Amino acid sequence: MPNATNQIEWCTVKLGEDMNWWVMEVSDDIHWDVDGLSIIDPRQVSHLIDLAEPLREYKFDQDIMDRAFITFKIQKDLGDGLVRLVRTKESFFDTDEPLFGLPDVVDEINGPYADFLNHITRIRVNILNDIIDFEQAFTIDELEEELREEENNNLIEGRAVHMFNEVTNIMEYVPAGWELDEDDVEEKEDEIDELPDIDDEEAKKISESENLKWEEDETEAENEDSYQGGPPDEGEEAEQKKV
């Protein structure tokens, strides 16, 4: 059977009222269900990379994160608030190009995205046991149980959980009833070997604008089908912003 992940070449996405991007259509609708399917935008990618950097001291494997996401770049504005993304082979960690990341959830239990969640969960538990003086070691089961309860509440209330929130809930998790000692956190960070700064000017611009504006890519500007400028806003006010 061919790899379903390799069959997806493009997708159309829309910015929701929650300021997160959601998938509306994919090139492979046989293996992919777009109902509640979320995708991270360039500023969210940048934030996850920032959160991942200190985890290297705890054997964070960026290849696991790379495999967990299928990367896309903007191709063009389709109108009606939709943006078409086209697949790219670029890695989050090896390019300054603003990329979107679709979680590889074709196999939700044993697939690359599930492996990534398991990876960062183990690391987060190790960090918490290093920083917090528990009477007994905090366990992966305890972390997963608390997050699962929150996920079930969202499902009961009919709220779709965006993948960005799912990941950050793990990477920033603190057990109920505990607070991290900021001095301990800073001390642990000081112990980490000096790492290169992420100089991503476009990501900074994205984070400063809810419209996700970034500079034009000169190579894409030569392609008449390539998308230029920020993603579309709805209404007359949005049209005035574009002018």
183-205 pLDDT, tens digit per residue, is: 444 454 444 344 334 344 544 44
Tell me, letter by letter, the H, E, C secondary structure of 135-197: CCCCCHHHHHHHHHHHHHHHHHCCCCCCHHHHHHHHHCCCCCCCCCCHHHHHHHHHHCCCCCC
CA 214 from centroid of its chain's CA atoms: 18
In terms of DSSP bridges, do strands 69-79 and 82-87 run parallel, antiparallel, or are they unpaired? antiparallel
Render pLDDT for 57-111 as a digit per residue (tens, 0 to 9). 999 999 999 999 999 999 999 988 899 999 999 999 988 899 999 999 999 889 9
Contacts of 166 (CB under 8 A, 6+ apart): 117
- Given this model, what pLDDT does residue 197 score? 43
Mean per-residue pLDDT for 169-177?
88
DSSP state of 57: G
Which residues partner with 78 through β-bridges? none
Q: What is d(CA 98, CA 89) in angstroms, rounded to the nearest whole number?
A: 13
- Given this model, what pLDDT does residue 133 score? 86
Q: In Å, what is the CA distance from 68 to each residue of 133, 157, 174, 194? A: 32, 28, 24, 26
Average pLDDT, the chain: 79
Render pLDDT for 7-48 as a digit per residue (tens, 0 to 9). 899 999 999 988 999 999 999 989 999 999 999 999 999 999
Could you tell me if residue 79 is left (phi over 0), alpha (psi between -120 and 50 degrees) or otherwise beta?
Answer: left
